Structure 1
């Protein structure tokens, strides 16, 4: 789901929750005002409303319950969307802080300086600082991913972002990280009319990282592009033949008849 769609959905749910909540409260207050509670000492003074009759008060009560249910479901949906976005944000921050090729190391002040420069509105300078940081520690591929992200989102330069993501995929990454980075690169290829690269990279994901979740998505995309797509089984090396083949059993021929005197054997040639 695109970021703009998520923001619009969040705003719609927030507005609906406010509308339904306000409608519920106004009808609740109206019912309470029309039926003030008072201390009664006799059962005869207690009036039980007849909800079977279609009176205006009953209609207000029905509307109150309807708006209350709508408010409840709107708040639940808003909470689920907020929890999803928060979990995605935390996961992205965790990957950026902890991820590199070996799964080691934390960000240092040099990286934080580049992020601060970006926050101040200078993405080009941030990219320069990130490249310097990456030259000192080539394993810190989270910095390379950040460079690609800045080209894509801040500078609106998808071609430069494609080149950066292609360089990232040349490094040894965890399978899931490599797969999802490749899926994102396929999306950029697709938006820039590079259909051949999309198919080739999707096939590579399926072939080299077939057990990952990214490979499952790649298979679906390939089936959408080509309904006749069939995944090729991995190549298996032929079994080596034994050093000494075992010949089939042959019938033993009888020994030749000897005409030598007893005690003498034929001379070996």
Structure 2
């Protein structure tokens, strides 16, 4: 079996006496789409920060592309879209094209000049996310859904192998959310991207992902999406610590 792209082994983290992650282990195979669900304050964002190398676990190991995260230097292999992306400063004086191009700085290094081939790549990803017609529009003039597409393009422009999305549809309307999920599914299926998406949208996520991890400080489930759907009520009742009446969300 090939080495997983991501291997998280026995992570522990606390703020003072408050446990945030308690013996969390999970993995992501190449070309896989993993959805991570759980209540607010369940440690999902802390886990993402650790995978991105922004925080260190107090105990446990993280391996990325077969290397310990302590020695991992190839950051351009990972594209990241945070939940803060769509609360962008509306007055920020940058066009969509400039925002997308800024995703190349990790690969080029700060202050390197963009070449024609770089701009071709920028235009290519803008076409993929269907934003070419808005290339010269100020980023602040876009709707929440369009801004999210711009930030996905920014994450993709450096040709990453792993895309990490942290609550990417917060504050985006239902129609744009569905279009966003469809776009991510397209990128995953047609470009072989490995994807991790943290989301609150439990009713929808299991119809897009291959596997689901349900986290509330510890893992309550990590397995196939079909099994998660089958056992959803039981898993969520345990993870959220109360009896859940599931409301089906069907995005059309």
Q: Give me the TM-score of the superposition, normalised by structure 2.
A: 0.29
Structure index of larger Rg: 1
More helix per residue? 1
Looking at both structures, which has the greater relative contact order when contacts are Cα pairs under 8 Å and sequence separation is at least 6? 2
Q: Give me the TM-score of the superposition, normalised by structure 1.
A: 0.28
More strand per residue? 2
